[in-house]
Each structure stands twice: as structure tokens, then as C-alpha cells.
A = this chain, B = another copy of it.
Amino acid sequence: MPYTREELRWNGWGLRAQTFDLHGQDTAVWDFVRKTIGLAELPDTPPKPLAQTTLPPSELPGGLVETLRQALDAGRVKTDDYERAFHAMGRSYPDLIRLRNGELGESVPDAVVYPRDEAEVQAVLEACADVGTAVVPFGGGSSVVGGVEAKHGEGQTGVVTLDTTLMSRLLDLDPVSHTATFQAGIYGPDLEAELQRRGFTLGHFPQSFEFSTLGGWIAARGAGQQSNRYGCADEWLVGARVITPAGEWRTLPFPHSAAGPDLNELIAGSEGTLGVITEATVRVHEIAAKRDVRAYLFKDFEAGAAAIRRIVQAEIPVAMMRLSDPDESHFFGTFKSLIHPPGTVEAAAEKALDVAGFGEGRCVLMIGLEGDAPAVRQSIARTLAAVIREGGLPVGTGPGKAWYDQRFAMPYLRDPMLDRGVGIDTLETSTKWSNVPALYAAVRHAIRDCLGPNAAVLTHVSHSYSDGCSLYFTFFFARDLDDELGQWTKVKRAASDAIANTGGTISHHHGVGTDHAEWFGPEKGALAVDMLSAAKEKLDPKRILNPGKLLG
């Protein structure tokens, strides 16, 4: 069952009932964070409650609310403050700053609708198109790039956010073809529960898994943590149904087709600007009999990256390879030791590693394997051989298990940081292997250059391909409480420019949204943007769908 909106934080991550467990080591952890970002003390910066947040009045063109109430039913057309605030924007750093400070400006939907089927979606789009009101498709709302911000286009009046989460049924499972068809508003846990009780999995586990939807994964071309095995959204998508203001658009689920361009690849990455994804047929897998995650240490980032490259280019089947750079390895190593203090054996081992040359520059690589037992055994041996050739050291399954258990928890740490004046944001890109060192250096430099020497910049490689890999940057910094958005805009721009100027894509898996729109055009080229824009106008002639994202 979908979450009720009241169970979820309107201005933070996930379930209200859940927080990040620091195992009672709060003082030590916050002291570490404080020192890391170079503050004498952490200020108290709590969020404003909703009651103190002024929302603009709900103003839609005359008759639209009535039309919507007739098309759906009154109970599924919401105009109360909680629904409007919850759906105002996504969960990016600037979104959270604005939500917490009660400064939503005009970015609040005038109404939120919850259609239950495609006919209702069509009716909403037609009603809004008739009066020139923007429609923002909204799944879990976990976008970290401004993908669901309530905005209208020039000359448009009002914004209706279309929440898809009541469309969440499994429609078909084909156990012979290993495909499943779902309504696209289904949340990750519900989707996996439906599949796993039938022996299957989609295997798509982004960090947002618990609070994001199938349609959102597709719209943003998302990648799960095990994308080496299960593929990114554009790879596991086989067919879709999309409701547009001009009518229904569907792609048929073929294993491969040479009948012209693959339009699934337009739907993947469309970010709600071409239509509302209402159904998707996806490739599923039998649940792997065996799962294995083990960790390896490298003396430096280059050696670890070389091991990943060797493994992926040798086509050794792996589910995941995740390499933290020295800063990230050190940060999480320290963090972990604070909440789970090491015993004497661990301390001795730590010293031995230092002596063996796995010191300051050391990096942790986690390799996840899934499959039947013989295949996993074979891959353990083959990946180990590649690791050893690059000077890596196996350190067992402990770190992998710890990571696995915590893999959806990290976003919960953001809210308490924001409560204490700490800024945290992430950004990501991908590039070819030969360009990884240059891009890594350029983006780190850009972030540090803006935020000062005390900002912590942690980097990991988490998705790899024969021709290159992703680079994912997490940075912590002391917030400039006088100009929080200005501070962020500066670093975001510097990092994005560095990416664009150093051969990276503006996003590997977060998407474009509002935050990357400026870099989207140059990356695709003006002619391509014109072409996509002309395509959009056939589906959405009045350009009411998700204004300000992707195609403007």
C-alpha cells in the first residue's frame, strides 16, 4: 500500500517515525562532523513548522477545481496546506533549504490530484490544457535536481500536481518471458514485494528506493545500486504507456526491434515533460540464489579504479562495484568507528594496514555478486584475481554487510545535519575511463574552490561500464546562514561547469530537472533541443507538462 502523505516528512526525508540511529554516540559523531567542516560549534538551525510557513493562496482558473472534482472525485482533489507543501518540490538541497526556511515562494501547487486510472489522468491533462494550467507529474517526489518543483510556464495560470501513487497495481507477470507490467505509481518496496512473493526481482535499488516510484525511476533514467547486473531504468524498460495531453502513447514490449528509433529511450529521461507514465513493462530476474558482498582495500584511487575497469572489461558478471576515494573511505571509516567503536583486534589490524602501505590514500572497493552459487563462486575467484593484479587486499565480507544493511538509511542523516547548520549535497556524472582522473580532479577542485578548504568532498565510483564509469560526489560544508541559496548556487554552478568542460555528462542518474537545465542544452546541442522540443509539442501542444524542467 502507498504511504499516506501524513506518514511522510513534508520537509525532509522519509517516514516521520524513522531517524538515523547513531547508537547513542551523538556527541562523538557531531564533534567529528564539526571538526571535519572546520566549525568551532554547530549552530541550531531547526526547520520552521508548517503552521509558520506562508503558502501562496490556491488560485486556479475559474471552474478548474470543479472540473477536476467531477472527473476524479472530490476526495482526490486536494488543496489543503499539507498536501500543497508536501508536493511543492523534491528533496534536493535547495528544496530542503526552502522547505525548512518556509520560503517556498510561488513554487507551491494550487491543487494536488490523485487519479486512479488512465482515463482520470487524461481528464486531468485535458482540463488543465483547456485553461492553460501547468501539470507536474509526481511519484515519490524524491528528485534531487528540482524535477518536480511546482512551476508554471509563461502565460500559464496555476499548477496542478498529479500524484501517481494511487496507480500502483501489478497488472501482469509473465514468468516465461521474465517481464512484469505495473502501474507506474507503485513505490519501490511494494513493487519488490509483489515480485518477490512470485520468485522475481527487478533489482532496482537506488538510495531513494523506499520513497520513489517505478514511473519516477523511468522518467529520470535512474540507476540502482546493482546496475551492473540489473541495468539502469532505460535498460530494463521494455514497454510503457504514457498519457499525454494529445492522447495515449504506448510502446510495445519487444526484446529488440529495428523498427525505427527506440521510443522507450525517449520515455526514459522524459522527466514528466512528454506525458504521465502510467504503466511500464520491465525485465525481471529470478531472485538470485546467492548474494555476496565483499570488500577490498587499495593503496590509491587509481589502483581501485583500474581493478573495476579490468573486471568490467573482462565481462566478469558482478552486481555492483563501489569504490570510495581516500576522503570518502576515511570519512566513513571514522564515522563507523564512532558509532561502533573498534576493539583491540581491529585497532591492531588498522596499524598493520598502515605499515603495509594502506595508509592515508587507501580506498575501499565493495564488490557485490549475485547469481546461482557456482556462478558467484566463479566470480569471487575472477574478481579477486583482478583485485590482486592491481595490488588490492581482500578484507572480507564485514564492510559489505554493514553497507548493505545501511544502504537506504543515509538520506535520513541529512535532516539532523541540516538542523545543525551543516550543508550537504551530492552530484554525479559519468565519463570514459581515460578521462576519469581529469574529471575527478576538476570537480573536486571546483567544489573546494567555492566552499573553502574545510569542506569535505567525498567521491565514489558506483556504476561501471566497459567504456567508463560514474563519479559521485558528496560534500559537507558549513552553511552560510546569511545566503544559503547563494552559497549553493555558486558551488553547483562551478561543479556543473567543471563537469561540462571536462568531458562529463551533467547527470549519470539523477536527471536534469531545473538544476541542470542550463547544462542540458549545451550537452545535447541546440539542434537536438529544437528537435526534442518539436517532438514535445506534438504530445503537449500547450506545453503544460512540468514547465521549467528539461525542455523548458
Select one of B256, B382, B434, B511 contacting A174, CB under 8 A: B434
Q: Bound state CA distance, A78 and B265, in angstroms?
A: 39
Q: Which residues of A contact B (CB under 8 A)?
A: 174, 176-179, 220-223, 229, 232, 234, 238, 244, 246-263, 265-271, 283, 285-286, 309, 313-317, 371-372, 374-375, 378, 382, 430-435, 463-470, 504-512, 516, 519-520, 523-525, 527-528, 530-532, 534-535, 537-539, 550-551
Q: Bound state CA distance, A372 and B505, in angstroms?
A: 33
Neighbouring B residues of A539 by C-beta, 8 Å: 527, 531
Please give me the residue from chain B that is nearest to A229 by CB atom: B315
Select one of B246, B260, B466 contacting A532, CB under 8 A: B260
Q: Bound state CA distance, A527 and B275, in angstroms?
A: 12
Please give me the residue from chain B that is nearest to A523 by CB atom: B259
Q: Bound state CA distance, A176 and B438, in angstroms?
A: 14
> When the two chains form their complex, are residues A283 and B467 in contact, meaning their CB atoms are under 8 A apart?
yes
> When the two chains form their complex, are residues A177 and B434 in contact, meaning their CB atoms are under 8 A apart?
yes
Neighbouring B residues of A178 by C-beta, 8 Å: 313, 433, 466-467
20 contacts between A and B (CB under 8 A): A176-B432, A176-B433, A232-B258, A254-B432, A255-B464, A255-B470, A257-B430, A258-B508, A258-B509, A258-B511, A258-B512, A259-B506, A261-B268, A265-B265, A283-B466, A283-B467, A286-B313, A315-B375, A374-B382, A531-B538
Please give me the residue from chain B that is nearest to A288 by CB atom: B315
> When the two chains form their complex, are residues B259 and A266 in contact, meaning their CB atoms are under 8 A apart?
no
Neighbouring B residues of A506 by C-beta, 8 Å: 257, 259
Within the complex, the shortest CB–CB distance from A541 to chain B, in Å, comes to 11
> When the two chains form their complex, are residues B256 and A470 in contact, meaning their CB atoms are under 8 A apart?
yes
Select one of B248, B372, B510, B519 contacting A258, CB under 8 A: B510
Neighbouring B residues of A525 by C-beta, 8 Å: 249-250
Neighbouring B residues of A534 by C-beta, 8 Å: 534-535, 537-538
Q: Bound state CA distance, A506 and B257, in angstroms?
A: 8
> When the two chains form their complex, are residues B258 and A177 in contact, meaning their CB atoms are under 8 A apart?
no
> When the two chains form their complex, are residues A265 and B259 in contact, meaning their CB atoms are under 8 A apart?
no
Select one of B238, B253, B256, B463 contacting A463, CB under 8 A: B256
Among all A-B residue pairs, the 8 with the closest Cβ atoms: A265-B265, A255-B468, A255-B465, A177-B432, A221-B258, A257-B505, A176-B434, A531-B538
> When the two chains form their complex, are residues A432 and B255 in contact, meaning their CB atoms are under 8 A apart?
yes
Select one of B179, B249, B372, B463 contacting A527, CB under 8 A: B249
Neighbouring B residues of A248 by C-beta, 8 Å: 527
